[in-house]
Amino acid sequence: MLRAQRRKRLSRPEAAASEPPGDTRAQTTCYMCACRCGINVHLSNGRIRYIEGNRDHPVNRGVLCAKGSAGIMQHYSPARLRKPLLRVGERGKSEFREIEWAEALGLAAQWLGAIRGSDPRKLAFFTGRDQSQALTSWWAQQFGTPNYAAHGGFCSVNMAAAGLYSVAGSFWEFGEPDWEHSRYLLLFGVAEDHDSNPIKIGLNKLRQRGAKIVSVNPVRTGYTAIADEWVGIRPGTDGLLVFALIHELLRLEHVDLDFLVRYTNAPWLVLRHPGGGDDGLFARDGEGRVLAWDRRANREADAQLAGIVPQLVDEVTLADGRRAVPVFQLLAERYLDPQYAPEAVAERCGIATETIRGIARELARVAFEEQITIEQPWTDWAGRRHECMVGRPVSMHAMRGISAHSNGFHTCRAIHLLQMLLGAIDTPGSWRYKSPYPKPMTPAMKPAGHAHQVAPGEAMPAPPLGYPLGPEDLLVEADGTPRRIDKAFSWEAPLAAHGLMHQVIRNAWKGDPYPIDTLFLYMANMSWNSAMNTAGTIAMLTDRGADGGYRIPHIIYSDAYFSEMVAYADLVLPDTTYLERWDCISLLDRPIGSPEGPADAIRQPVVKPDRDVRPFQDVLIELGARLGLPGFATSEGKPRYRDYADYIARHERKPGVGPLAGWRGEAGDKIAVGAANPAQLARYVENGCFWQHHLPPEQRYFKHANRDYLESAAQMGFIDRPRQIVLQLYVETLQKFRLAAEGHGPVQPPERERERIARHFDPLPIWYTPLEEAAIDAAAFPLHAVTQRPMPMYHSWGSQNAWLRQIYSRNYLYVHRHTAAALGLGDEDWVFVVSHHGRVRCQIRLVDGVNPGTVWTWNAIGKRAGAWGLAPDAPEARRGFLLNTAISELLPAHLPEERLNADPITGQAAWYDLRVRLERADAGNEDALEPLSPPRGVIVGSGR
């Protein structure tokens, strides 16, 4: 009967399945996650009716995920803020007075102007997952504060820094598998909500070609669920697994020696001078050129001379009597050690010895027996012509799960080492750089903020974030005290390239290393899912000093929605949704380039705000002008830019280089470098809001050593000069820090940091027990606890969304059924998850697809009652939970000294080091925080 009705309906002649869903279509860029897909937004009478993928867009080729299509509900979310707010009650009580923008901006300018005139460091300006960091960083530099960063320090700085110091690129934003040619993909701990559509499109290509996908992840969800092989590793032991693979490849002599000699620093000589100030540094000649040993001439030579035949093993004596050994020998000595044999690491990793051996064998077989040849001549950096491009079709990808551990920097380095040993960097079938990468570390962009670079009323001469190349680049006082409020680039986190946002509130509250005046946050839910120790962070935000004032005197916050953080702001600057503003996904920040060439994108407003809100970027530009910041006000004190759109089109970071690379020059005929073009934004809009440039075929692989590519990259301003970028198996920068810790050089760590720096700053990758695990009693906290990212939600953004809430509206703790049985727990029982720091109550579900020693939950679905326009009894608040409550920003208190729960190299937050036990609990959430009261104008939705 039903079938008959359906047939009748479908056969009706008037059925028009492709009827346009609206009267207008506008193209822009999605912002429901960080992936930056192109979208077509259909409107009817000015209201958004439907969102679809843009088939011409280079990122998603028309593919749209659940989040992207649900953008319509994000835009019309009842949680949208409607007007600037000024706090009138106690912090945290959500008692605000609506004010006009003139008053809001006047107040912000008054607070900020006062501190800029006295000590710009009293401003801490931190942003969350915003995509305008080229602007926000520039603004901080013009203000003159080094206290700036975005969310990368608690997301993936381990991965970014490890990649950039090793291979001049990194996973995800600066590189991706060669989806067209790869035959074997090894995924490590991937977050399903990052790079979502491109990975799904890529995995589909691999599956269609019959390529093998192996996923290393304690939890079998998302991409892991469609992998051919799931390796359910114990959290934090991925580095050991990779070392065992390297051990096997070295033992069986399955490494690409030609690749190592031509493209890496394997032959570079490392000085052996125990106790000396140059021990472990590269041997250099009088001109500063790194040396190798030329076997043919039997003498030392410039390591980067194309004609030499370098020696890879054995110690040599240089002409001046110094002794040195090639990098490759150090590497082989270390990883051939029996401690890294598969049978030695198997139990610790929770993986069978034979599985590890099997992966090593398959890697070697695919890399060396299924090598790929593309009949495309190319010329290398030394001018040697190659008739074809030969590649090793094994690729790797990693993200969260690697980076969120305190040993993550070295683990990620280990993966890059494995890629280099296989000859699988930017070759056909392997992992490829996304333009504008590769970028070499030298000349490095070093972080600004030294004493001579910060002065009242002055801009800083360089951006606040960068890449130190040695102790002298740290931002510390003479006694080692950090100069930044988050202690980035100090001895506590020397290579903190993305800052330490997760430590800002604690340090500001403590006045350590100094008190600040204003905490200025954008899109950063720091009183909920973006904070470790959520309850403690809230207490710090509301704590008062001896004078009765708040210990953090001013908090300015900008958000489009009533997130948990709004309640703790003194001044709220309401932002627009992503469909109501101009935006710029810039080559100066993290563009949408691919291995085929550079690309960038914009957002355009497709609807006008129906509330009294302003795009944060416009607000920042106006504030900059009001404060007279040199980049934002003319010498006569007039605004330099009308708004963000005007800034995007006219700003030049250096002559001819602006936020957008496409259609530059007055006639719009230049790419990357050229004069500002008043019609540039219109050209982007005509083109679907993106620009891309296709590299010619001879430039598409071996970019680190491809003469034509390097020359064109230099012309486009991506690199300073067209020199070979040598891949770094051995990172000398790390050894420089270690030497300082051993008492060498003018800048040395304070006594308390020496042993720690010496231990962790190893120039070759190491593995150590995650720091929390090493510090706790394993018997008291026998389980690992991690979060996974659901594909249909991005951080906390999705759980206000009426459509996405139908997929998940609460989270459970997932426990292996054997583990639960041993604890006497059953499906849907309530438990406390107890860590050394705190506990959180939740309900469990039993599963098979998880490492038995690990429990997990979805990230950021639990909500504080009253926030995000959800009814106080919404499932997110009533039955959802936030694991952050059990995670501390510090290592256990019994340690002799206060230590960050973070990677000691980069300061990356160690979210996934968490160790817990489960205790049976009563049902309910009476231990939850009191509900928040939404400000006027925020509509409270329904529970469900």
Please report, as ranges, the residues that interact with ligand SF4 according to CB under 6 A: 30, 32-33, 35-37, 60, 64-65, 67-68, 196-197
Nearer to ligand SF4 among residue 29 and residue 530 (C-beta): 29
By three-state DSSP, how is residue 273 classified? coil
Nearer to ligand SF4 among residue 196 and residue 854 (C-beta): 196
Pairing of strands 184-188, 212-216: parallel
* CA–CA gap between residue 798 and residue 858 (Å, rounded): 12
Which neighbouring-strand residues pair with 28? 39
Closest approach, Cβ 194 to ligand SF4, in A, equals 9
Q: How many of the other CB atoms lie within 10 Å of CB of 3?
A: 7
By three-state DSSP, how is residue 573 classified? strand
Nearer to ligand SF4 among residue 130 and residue 248 (C-beta): 130
By three-state DSSP, how is residue 625 classified? helix
Closest approach, Cβ 264 to ligand SF4, in A, equals 34
Closest approach, Cβ 33 to ligand SF4, in A, equals 3
Q: What is the 3-state secondary structure (H, E, C) of 28-87?
A: EECCCCCCCCEEEEEEECCEEEEEEECCCCCCCCCCCCHHHHCHHHHHCCCCECCCCEEE
Distances (CA, A) of 909 to 73, 520, 774: 32, 21, 16
Cβ within 8 Å of residue 547, ≥6 positions away: none
The residue count of the chain comes to 944
Which neighbouring-strand residues pair with 269? 326
Nearer to ligand SF4 among residue 61 and residue 899 (C-beta): 61
Closest approach, Cβ 181 to ligand SF4, in A, equals 24
Residue 347, Cβ density class (10 Å: 0-12 exposed, 13-18 middle, ≥19 buried): exposed
Q: Residue 450's closest CA among 490, 503, 510, 505?
A: 490
Closest approach, Cβ 618 to ligand SF4, in A, equals 23
Closest approach, Cβ 684 to ligand SF4, in A, equals 17
Closest approach, Cβ 36 to ligand SF4, in A, equals 6
Cβ within 8 Å of residue 266, ≥6 positions away: 260, 312, 326, 327, 328, 331, 729
Q: What is the 3-state secondary structure (H, E, C) of 302-352?
A: ECCCCCCCECCCCCEECCCCCEEEEHHHHHHHHHCCHHHCHHHHHHHHCCC
Closest approach, Cβ 28 to ligand SF4, in A, equals 11
Pairing of strands 571-574, 85-87: antiparallel
Nearer to ligand SF4 among residue 196 and residue 529 (C-beta): 196
Task: Name the CA dihedral angle for 535, 537, 539, 543, rounded to a multiple of 10 degrees.
Answer: 180
Closest approach, Cβ 32 to ligand SF4, in A, equals 3
Closest approach, Cβ 66 to ligand SF4, in A, equals 7
Contact present, 146 and 459 (Cβ < 8 Å): no
Closest approach, Cβ 473 to ligand SF4, in A, equals 35
Nearer to ligand SF4 among residue 152 and residue 658 (C-beta): 152
Nearer to ligand SF4 among residue 63 and residue 538 (C-beta): 63
* CA–CA gap between residue 571 and residue 591 (Å, rounded): 32
Closest approach, Cβ 191 to ligand SF4, in A, equals 12
Nearer to ligand SF4 among residue 72 and residue 390 (C-beta): 72
CA atoms in the 13 A half-sphere facing the CB of 285: 12
Nearer to ligand SF4 among residue 32 and residue 303 (C-beta): 32
Closest approach, Cβ 584 to ligand SF4, in A, equals 16
Q: How far is CA 833 from the centre of its chain?
A: 28
For the chain, the straight-line distance linking the first and the last C-alpha, in angstroms and rounded, comes to: 33
Nearer to ligand SF4 among residue 226 and residue 673 (C-beta): 226
Closest approach, Cβ 41 to ligand SF4, in A, equals 12
Nearer to ligand SF4 among residue 68 and residue 310 (C-beta): 68
Quickly tell me which residue has 């949704």 as its tokens.
Answer: 577
Nearer to ligand SF4 among residue 194 and residue 392 (C-beta): 194
* CA–CA gap between residue 479 and residue 141 (Å, rounded): 25
Closest approach, Cβ 523 to ligand SF4, in A, equals 15
Nearer to ligand SF4 among residue 41 and residue 840 (C-beta): 41
Nearer to ligand SF4 among residue 428 and residue 798 (C-beta): 798
* CA–CA gap between residue 495 and residue 737 (Å, rounded): 10
Which residue lies nearest ligand SF4, judged by its C-beta? Answer: 68
Nearer to ligand SF4 among residue 31 and residue 509 (C-beta): 31
Nearer to ligand SF4 among residue 64 and residue 213 (C-beta): 64
CA atoms in the 13 A half-sphere facing the CB of 320: 8
Helix residue ranges per DSSP H, 800-878:
817-822, 875-878
By three-state DSSP, how is residue 242 classified? helix
* CA–CA gap between residue 652 and residue 674 (Å, rounded): 10
Residue 479, Cβ density class (10 Å: 0-12 exposed, 13-18 middle, ≥19 buried): exposed
Closest approach, Cβ 69 to ligand SF4, in A, equals 8
